Structure 1
């Protein structure tokens, strides 16, 4: 079993990146170590050694996906200029979410989100809840301080997050960027 208390080896990091590219193309739901290992130039035995188990690999892949989400959130917080107000933050987030280049990551995110609800004790544990908290926290930074810590401030952030998440799911299902973008903008500015 791999020692997760030390820094990851270069080979582990390399295989994680290759596996991450693989699951972005193929998804996580039916992940099987044999085809994954064959495609990324490894073996199931090496993957099990480096990640401890299939669940350990899934957890590492989810953590890797979350790194991309956290990078977006960091850019929102540190943006120049930072989005001011929920409508501006919502517009900024939606522009990123609706970018076709991000679809593989977002499909993976949706898959992990749903799995964490269906299998709360597995490697997906808390993925959905953590994602909600991450997004609510970043949206809070776009609110005026006088509103941020109020029940109304939380309600407004929650409503915006629900609209963005719902529009994203609809966009991923239909590919209809014009309709979903119009709906998001109506909510933001209507």
Structure 2
């Protein structure tokens, strides 16, 4: 008779693996996850089935954390101009906290095959449109959500490639001045 599933152990392992991936990037082997969880490769595979299923679970957990963090950053606040909200969101997304997510998800954006998460690039683009539309609606400009998202993504790619935080911060600040209400 086999062991019964233990979802609480699986959750603990998944949380520890996601913490590790966010701190160090997604490893190409499971050995770093073994070290991070203090368990064995055999036990990780017991709980997740395969290496790819473990990696997919880690990506999904990290993505849940990113969505929660960024939705909070992008949420319109009563009495605050949405351009101020976007300035603060940019600081969070482009700063050290956002870098943890870029470390994990940037390779997925660059991977043409998308073996681990085939629909990632589409989701990573479209899931921010709703919060941006809602926030931009406070300026009377919800139709600009795609433009704002494209600017954020483009400046993040620029910043990642060049390391020029001062220039990309200045570019985003200048962009925000164009978002004044009609």
Q: CA deviation at 1:113?
A: 2.6
- 5 Å-filtered alignment, 1:106-117, equals 106-115=102-111
Q: Which residue of 2 aligns with 1:14?
A: 12
Q: CA deviation at 1:129?
A: 0.6
Aligned pair count reads 174
The SS at the match of 2:136 is coil
Report whether the alignment pairs 1:119 with 2:113: yes
Q: Which residue of 2 aligns with 1:144?
A: 137
C-alpha distance in 2 between matches for 1:135 and 1:142 = 11
Q: CA deviation at 1:134?
A: 0.9
Report whether the alignment pairs 1:185 with 2:144: no
- TM-score for both structures, normalised by structure 1: 0.77
User: 1:114 touches 1:128 (CA, 8 Å); kept in 2?
Assistant: no
Per-residue CA distance 1:63-87 (angstroms, 9 max, x = gap): 11111222124324655338655x3
Per-residue CA distance 1:133-189 (angstroms, 9 max, x = gap): 1111111111338754xxxx1xx2222111111111222333322111001111121
Report whether the alignment pairs 1:134 with 2:130: no
In structure 1, runs of 5+ residues without a counterpart are none
C-alpha distance in 2 between matches for 1:173 and 1:40 = 32
- TM-score for both structures, normalised by structure 2: 0.80
Q: Given the superposition, is the C-alpha separation of residues 52 and 83 from structure 1 closer, same or farther in structure 2, using an over 3 Å criterion?
A: farther
Say which of 165, 181, 186 aligns to 2:153: 165
User: 1:34 touches 1:44 (CA, 8 Å); kept in 2?
Assistant: yes
C-alpha distance in 2 between matches for 1:91 and 1:77 = 10
- 5 Å-filtered alignment, 1:13-92, equals 13-28=11-26, 30-76=27-73, 78-81=75-78, 84-85=81-82, 87-92=83-88
- Alpha-carbon RMSD: 2.6
C-alpha distance in 2 between matches for 1:78 and 1:136 = 12
